[in-house]
Structure 1
Amino acid sequence: MTDNRKAIVPVWTLATGDVRVPVLAGDEPMTVERLAELRSVLAGLADKPIATLEVHPLPEKLDRSRGIPLDAASPLAQHLSQLVTQSAKGSSAAATATAAGEGLYRMVIPAKVAAQVGQGIVRPMASKAAAGGIHSALVNQTGIAAQATFVPVGAAAAAGAAGGAGATAGVAVVGSAALTVAAPLVLMAVAVGVSASADRKRQQAIEHITELLEQLHEQKLDDERRDLDACRDAIDKATAILLDQGKLGLSVGLDSAAHAISKALVAAEGRLAQWQSALDKLPDGKAVEIDTLNKSFPGVDDQGGMFRAHLELAALAIALKQRVIVLQAVEHAQADSGNLFENFARALKVDQQRLDKLESGIAGVLVRLSALELARPRGVRPVFTAGEVDRLMSAASRIRKLGDGVSVDSRATDVAIEIARNEDGSVVVFPALPA
């Protein structure tokens, strides 16, 4: 969405703890470039995670089906409403921008912080097609942010993100910088945004694998897919309970879902080890025949082969496990109100490292496969039929494309989480994406 007018956009700096940093922004308007610099400096100087929050006009056309809806009574919606209400009392820019009650809020978590909250969950998208699939109206090629002037909202005016169990917000940092302590707001936004991102990956994996299995007629793989997809119900219930700051019980069924997901991850790790071993055994610098490749990667030269089904099953298991990790992290964080964000980051990190290793291993296999040179089939005839030539060319093209959109770069990137707020105070949180 492009707005040619020079929009005035309020921006809050939200800390997850009581920190003091040198004055960096003051009350002067900022450009988008200056705001990006501010984020980097705050991330480097502060010993607690600091996020920025902007509010833009709500686009007329916004695909809300991509996000997770939360009603006005949910902790995240309440934290956001209290921040808006308190800010409007002392900031004319905030009052004007939030007067309608609705808006599109964009929270940006610096790369340094993103690395603490599971950098494998949100990675830069190398494929333009893939990136276009998750970008919202705010962050298109010529988005509003490029046209806007950002006005800092002072801490004294924005001291109201408190409320809910374990809240450490509501304390404006009276010091050298205009920071609002809003750990619950940042925690909930990150948790819901990351969960939505993982669920979007689950949806994509389900769509792909369902189509593949219809072609393969593989009952065992279909059962594996059904077992994994059946976990969604328990995960959705647990997500709703925790985001309302409730307590999980055995009746939710999260334990059995986690067990099924763990079994699928073990299977994915076993397949990955077999793929890596098969690639290691190939002669260096020599062309490989399709039939030889198919022994270790069944159907690799086909659009609907078993190898691709195994890839989608791994993607599905990883996406579901990422949602479970977020749930566990939120539960740990809410259990200790004095150590909110640190507990969240710590709980995410442990299991996420295993998923990072699995994802990067699969990415490495795909890149290595895409770089292979295919050899002509061996035969007694010096001339090949048109069908054999077509198969070779088609297989070479499909295998080269395996590396498209694959990112083996594990460096963290800034993460953006967009929240659409409605007039009644309810919100929709969209999947977290690279900022």
Structure 2
Amino acid sequence: MIDYRKTTVPVWALATRDVRVAPFGGEQRMTAGRLAELRTVLAALADEPVATLEAHPLPERLDRARGIPLDAVSPLAQHLSQLVTASARSSSSAATVAGEGLYRLVVPAKVAGAFGQGLVRPMMSKAVTGGFRGPLVDTTGRIVAGATFVPVGKAAAAGAAGGAGATAGVAVAGSAALTVAAPLVLMALAVGVSANADTKRREAIERITDLLEQLHEDRLEAEHSELDGCRDAIDKATAILLDQGKIGASLGLDSAVHAINSALGAADRRLARWRSALDRLPDGEAVDIATLAKPFPGIDDDGGEFRAHLELASLAIALKQRVNVLQAVEHAQNDPGNLFENFTRALKRDQQRLDDMESGIAEVLLRLSALELARPQGLRPVFTTGEVDRLMRATHRIHQLADAAPTNGRPSDVAIEIARDKDGSVVVFPALPAGN
């Protein structure tokens, strides 16, 4: 998404409260590699989370449909506008993007780890094509250009103020030129993670729709419809909270949470049955397809009921992740003097159950993919070409289940891109691991 052929872009260091860090300031120009090194230093030496915010020119072509739009009067847009406007008065590099631009916030890995490993992970899909991928390369993979970054000085601090419970200023004397901007970091992180979860929800909806069209299962269709019906309440609650409002009973969020929790309960029960079925299989022996299909109906088909159950679990998890972010933001706003710690603590607690479920599903898929399928049982010594083809297709499909297993790797830095228009409105794109 970011065009690195542009020569110079400003970068801010943003803290959630006063901290003492290694030098990060002045007008010394740096490369992208040097900036990455400084991020590592800031994360290792600072007592509190330190993020960096880069300001790039707005690309000519930008898929805004995959982000969450916020108007110019929203707290996030106002915090960003105040930061940029104050910076432009004292920094020539910041002045070049004082209007529209694409801002990239990178939150350190030790903060990302507090969100739960499963909340932000790479999404290999068309929905995120064009996301940040590092230095610009040509069709052969050769790096053709790179941006130069200029740190923005202390004058930027005044721009971080605004909003209930906002804290702003420069870090304590003797440290770097570090802007304290807890509300900006909190709101950007909340919207980016929410957009990430919503992208996973849309992908799950598309897959479930295709599967149910093949299955014609009214029971699964009803479960799908109930989950998909939660979106309206979640979207409205998100908009209200991001405007620092209060969620009322009229939104229907309580009933949406009940439906999501019911779906997660069904997924838990199915997961327990799958594990029990695998435990009953004889160790080291090949398994007949008919035997395997009883606890895992349609496992040898592209659109079987087992795969529909997997996608329903994915949808419930994605919706629950959005609700978790809403609850964490509400919790943080109720205690504005302690924004970031409450936010991460609430997310980590609520995310743990989802991590456990995804780990359990991954375990089941990996165990299934490792099974050896037996030849069909029968009296005939020779099998038809159709039977052999079915066995080969089933073997291939079952072995491919490992590719669908959720993976929870080590937490990475989280990158959130924000497109800002001339009128001050913004579009926040899904949070992604910064290395992607």
Question: TM-score under structure 1 normalisation?
Answer: 0.94
Q: CA-to-partner distance for each residue in 1:5-64, whole Å, 9 max, x for gaps?
A: 462121111001111112256542222111112112211211211111101111111110
Aligned-partner Cα distance in 1 for 2:28–2:177: 12
Q: Is residue 377 of structure 2 the alignment partner of residue 378 of structure 1?
A: yes
Aligned-partner Cα distance in 2 for 1:228–1:292: 31
**3-state SS in 2 of match to 1:59:** coil
Q: CA-to-partner distance for each residue in 1:221-270, whole Å, 9 max, x for gaps?
A: 11111111111111011001000000111111111111111111011011
- Is residue 160–residue 171 contact of structure 1 (8 Å, CA) maintained in 2? no
**3-state SS in 2 of match to 1:51:** strand
* 9-18 or 375-384, larger mean C-alpha shift: 375-384
Aligned-partner Cα distance in 2 for 1:319–1:250: 22
Aligned in 2, Cα 1:78/1:176: closer, same or farther, shift over 3 Å? same
The aligned residue for residue 107 of structure 1 is: 105
The aligned residue for residue 121 of structure 2 is: 123
**3-state SS in 1 of match to 2:160:** coil
Aligned in 2, Cα 1:277/1:145: closer, same or farther, shift over 3 Å? farther
Q: Is residue 41 of structure 2 the alignment partner of residue 34 of structure 1?
A: no
**3-state SS in 2 of match to 1:159:** helix
Q: CA-to-partner distance for each residue in 1:407-433, whole Å, 9 max, x for gaps?
A: 433421111101000110000000111
- Is residue 122–residue 434 contact of structure 1 (8 Å, CA) maintained in 2? yes
- Is residue 211–residue 308 contact of structure 2 (8 Å, CA) maintained in 1? yes
Aligned-partner Cα distance in 1 for 2:179–2:238: 27
Alpha-carbon deviation of 1:123? 1.6
- Is residue 361–residue 405 contact of structure 2 (8 Å, CA) maintained in 1? no
Calculate percent identity across the aligned residue pairs.
Answer: 73
After TM superposition, list the pairs within 5 Å mapping 1:180-199 onto structure 2.
Answer: 180-199=179-198
Structure 1 vs Structure 2 CA RMSD: 1.9
**3-state SS in 1 of match to 2:226:** helix
The aligned residue for residue 252 of structure 2 is: 253
- Is residue 66–residue 200 contact of structure 1 (8 Å, CA) maintained in 2? yes
- Is residue 159–residue 172 contact of structure 1 (8 Å, CA) maintained in 2? no
Aligned-partner Cα distance in 2 for 1:108–1:332: 23
Alpha-carbon deviation of 1:286? 2.1
Aligned in 2, Cα 1:204/1:6: closer, same or farther, shift over 3 Å? closer
Q: Which amino acid counterpart does residue 111 of structure 2 have in structure 1?
A: V
The aligned residue for residue 152 of structure 1 is: 151
Aligned in 2, Cα 1:274/1:145: closer, same or farther, shift over 3 Å? farther
**3-state SS in 2 of match to 1:296:** coil
Which residue among 109, 124, 134 is the counterpart of 2:128? 134
> Which runs of 5 or more structure 2 residues have no equivalent in the other structure?
138-142
Aligned-partner Cα distance in 2 for 1:228–1:408: 24
> Which runs of 5 or more structure 1 residues have no equivalent in the other structure?
none
**3-state SS in 1 of match to 2:105:** strand
Alpha-carbon deviation of 1:373? 1.6
**3-state SS in 2 of match to 1:338:** helix
- Is residue 26–residue 152 contact of structure 2 (8 Å, CA) maintained in 1? no
Q: Which amino acid counterpart does residue 342 of structure 1 have in structure 2?
A: E
Aligned-partner Cα distance in 2 for 1:171–1:44: 20
After TM superposition, list the pairs within 5 Å mapping 1:67-86 onto structure 2.
Answer: 67-86=67-86
**3-state SS in 1 of match to 2:102:** strand
- Is residue 290–residue 374 contact of structure 1 (8 Å, CA) maintained in 2? yes
Q: CA-to-partner distance for each residue in 1:306-337, whole Å, 9 max, x for gaps?
A: 00000010011001100100000000101111
Q: Which amino acid counterpart does residue 118 of structure 2 have in structure 1?
A: G
Q: Which amino acid counterpart does residue 234 of structure 1 have in structure 2?
A: A
The aligned residue for residue 7 of structure 1 is: 7
Q: Which amino acid counterpart does residue 77 of structure 1 have in structure 2?
A: A
**3-state SS in 1 of match to 2:130:** coil
Q: Which amino acid counterpart does residue 59 of structure 1 have in structure 2?
A: P
After TM superposition, list the pairs within 5 Å mapping 1:28-427 onto structure 2.
Answer: 28-96=28-96, 98-99=97-98, 101-125=99-123, 130-131=124-125, 133-139=127-133, 142=136, 147-171=146-170, 173-427=172-426
Q: Which amino acid counterpart does residue 136 of structure 2 have in structure 1?
A: T
- Is residue 101–residue 421 contact of structure 2 (8 Å, CA) maintained in 1? yes
Aligned-partner Cα distance in 2 for 1:140–1:206: 30
| Structure 1 residue ranges (4+ consecutive) displaced by more than 6 angstroms after TM superposition | 143-146
- Is residue 286–residue 371 contact of structure 2 (8 Å, CA) maintained in 1? yes
Aligned in 2, Cα 1:2/1:21: closer, same or farther, shift over 3 Å? closer
Q: Which amino acid counterpart does residue 29 of structure 2 have in structure 1?
A: P
Aligned-partner Cα distance in 2 for 1:192–1:322: 12
Aligned-partner Cα distance in 1 for 2:95–2:172: 21
Aligned-partner Cα distance in 2 for 1:142–1:285: 49
Q: Which amino acid counterpart does residue 307 of structure 2 have in structure 1?
A: R
The aligned residue for residue 429 of structure 2 is: 430
Aligned-partner Cα distance in 2 for 1:301–1:427: 46
Alpha-carbon deviation of 1:405? 4.9
Aligned-partner Cα distance in 2 for 1:284–1:188: 51
Alpha-carbon deviation of 1:3? 5.0
Alpha-carbon deviation of 1:406? 3.2
**3-state SS in 1 of match to 2:30:** coil
